Structure 1
Amino acid sequence: MSTTALSSSDAAATPPPPRPAASPPRLPGRLRGAIAAVAATLAGFGLLLALWGLAGLMSVDRSIPDQPRQLLPGPAETLPVLGSMLADPFYDNGPNDKGIGLQAVQSLVRVFQGWSIGLLIAVPLGLLLGASPLVRRVFEPVVQTLRPVSPLAWFPLGLAVMQSGPEATVFVIVVTSLWPTLINTMYGVMSLPDDYRNVARVFRFSRRQYVAKVLLPYALPHILTGLRLSMGIAWLVIVAAEMLAGGTGLGYFIWDAYNAGSLTRVLAAIIVIGLIGLALDRSFDLVARKVGQS
């Protein structure tokens, strides 16, 4: 009996085991992913700035021994110029002195004009080539012949026909931006499974119903990919075309800044072009994801 009492008192005197320390609260998975993406983006841009600064330091003209000159402006010289350009981007002091914002708007208007016209040509033609083997055999060699032609090779032709630099620029964008959409649409339709065609026959779809309810929905992801690539090409071509056309636009702005000897303004405009291109690409990526989820 005493042994039992002793055991009970010992058990009562034994302290309870320590509780495990509470783990720190964890961020939601989506927020962690967003923070990681921002950190990766900042790291990429930081590396780009470092390489740019190194390239600037290495581009030194020592032809005059006592007066070395840095040929390529670095970030320290360019970013303040970019800041001053963005501080008042929409000023207009005449034909040859417009803000970077006005120039960007002019370029975007031409890009969307040419890209939209190319879309209206490329999607129906791509559907036709993908759905009809006979039409594809006739026209695919023509498409593959015209597709690799340099964008600037079309500019003199557009200028001769339209007698206008801005209209020739839109023409160049139409001709060079439609091919990715056309080809992606064609291959999207060609990859349509036979089961889809058989179901359309069972339900006796008309040609319009077949296109609207079978071909277009199935080929839509391919079409969006083509449109995204086409926009990238259009934004790539616009600068070179505007350098030839003159007048307004980011291409003209860069050429005018180069002729004025201001490489800092040239580099600042290149940054603006790159950021706008990034925004356009991310917009198409967002649309593609929304369509994929629907």
Structure 2
Amino acid sequence: MASLNMKATLLSLLLLLVGLGIWEAMNQVPAASTGLSEYERMMGGADQEARVPPPSQVFSHAWDELSDPFYDAGPNDKGIGIQLAYSLYRVLTGYLAAALIAIPLGFVIGMSPLMHKALNPFIQVLRPISPLAWMPLALFIIRDSEGSAIFVIFICSIWPMLINTAFGVANVRTDWIKVARTHELSPLKTAFLVILPAAAPTILTGMRISIGIAWLVIVAAEMLVGGTGIGYYVWNEWNNLDLNSVIFSILMIGIVGMLLDMTLAAVTKLVQYED
């Protein structure tokens, strides 16, 4: 296993270096050899040609940004650390609020066939709705961009957790529940001591899916509501035509999303191991 992991790591590094090398080399090709698009001709020819900056420029910009990530020079000029902190606050607030509702409700649905049949039509209607479709209604009712963004995260986070919790609870082995009844455990003790440990891996899988969706949605939500956050940062830098900052922020979105997923994946493996 260790040898396989080492080989996979080396292959990943090799692919990264090859990709960066091709990206860098493409920026060294003379403009005349690439040809000009109609837009570039309208903008004045090769001298005005706009290109995606090479990795060397992006890494240089990233070093400058990460050397002081929490600077605050005004409403439209904050460091990447502050922008990510705003986004993480919104994501975690909406995500935890969804967990407080989805997991208990999922237990009820999973343990009660009656509640499952009664609530399933509502779940099937509401689940496919795009989270961003709720944004206009949230802005009208809440009348606050921060609260509306958190509400959108809540909406997009609740469904994977709810469905996975209900599925995990409903599929707990019946003989374990029978043993709990034999020992005259109350329904509450049965839920905490028998059902929850057995369903925990499935519940955490739903939570892992939810955090990934929430991190995707917050970028689009912040582009709509503006103000602060990594989504607003990306859109603001695009309006400033600073592609170095745009690419850097995209990379930071990916890295933070990966870290969130890795955290929940580690917790899931730990629960499965202990189970």
**What TM-score comes out, normalization by structure 2 length?**
0.89
Q: Secondary structure at the match of 1:67?
A: helix
Match of 2:213 in 1: 233
Are positions 1:289 and 2:269 aligned together?
yes
Equivalent residue for 1:214, pick from 194, 215, 231:
194
Counterparts of 2:137 and 2:26 in 1: how far apart (Å)?
39
* Equivalent AA in structure 2 for residue 35 of structure 1: M
Q: Deviations over 1:50-93 (max 9, x none)?
A: 56558877796452444362433332332222221111111011
Query: 2:237 & 2:92 partners in 1: Cα distance?
Result: 25
Distance 1:72 1:193, change over 3 A: same
Aligned residue in 2 for 1:88: 68
For 1:188 and 1:93, how far apart are their aligned partners in 2?
49
> Could you tell me how far apart the structure 1 residues matched to 2:155 and 2:205 are?
18
Gaps of 5+ in 2: none
List runs of 5+ in structure 1 lacking aligned partners: 1-28
Paired positions, count: 265
| Deviation of the 1:158 alpha carbon | 1.1
Partners of 1:111 and 1:235 within 8 A in 2: yes
Q: Flag the 1:38–1:186 CA change in 2: closer, same or farther, 3 A.
A: same
Please say if residues 173 and 234 of structure 1, whose CA atoms lie closer than 8 Å, have aligned partners that are also in contact.
yes
Name 1:36's counterpart in structure 2. 7
Query: Which residue among 227, 240, 247 is the counterpart of 2:227?
Result: 247
- Please list every run of at least 4 consecutive aligned residues from structure 1 whose deviation after the TM superposition is greater than 6 angstroms: 54-60
What letter corresponds to residue 75 of structure 2 in structure 1? P
Identity %: 41
1:47 CA drift (Å) = 5.0
Q: Quick one: which amino acid aligns to residue 185 of structure 1?
A: T
Q: Which has the larger radius of gyration?
A: 1
Pairing 1:29-68 to 2, within 5 Å after superposition: 30=2, 32-49=3-20, 61=37, 62-63=40-41, 64-67=44-47
Does the 8 Å CA contact 2:142/2:148 hold for their aligned counterparts?
yes
* C-alpha distance in 1 between matches for 2:35 and 2:99: 43
Shift of 1:43: 3.2
Q: Which one of 169, 178, 194 corresponds to residue 149 of structure 2?
A: 169
Mapped to 1, the partners of 2:35 and 2:167 lie a distance apart of 47
- Match 1:111 to one of 66, 91, 95: 91
Q: Which segment is superposed worse, 276-285 or 35-44?
A: 35-44
Task: Report the AA paired with residue 272 of structure 1.
Answer: M
Aligned to 1:143: 123
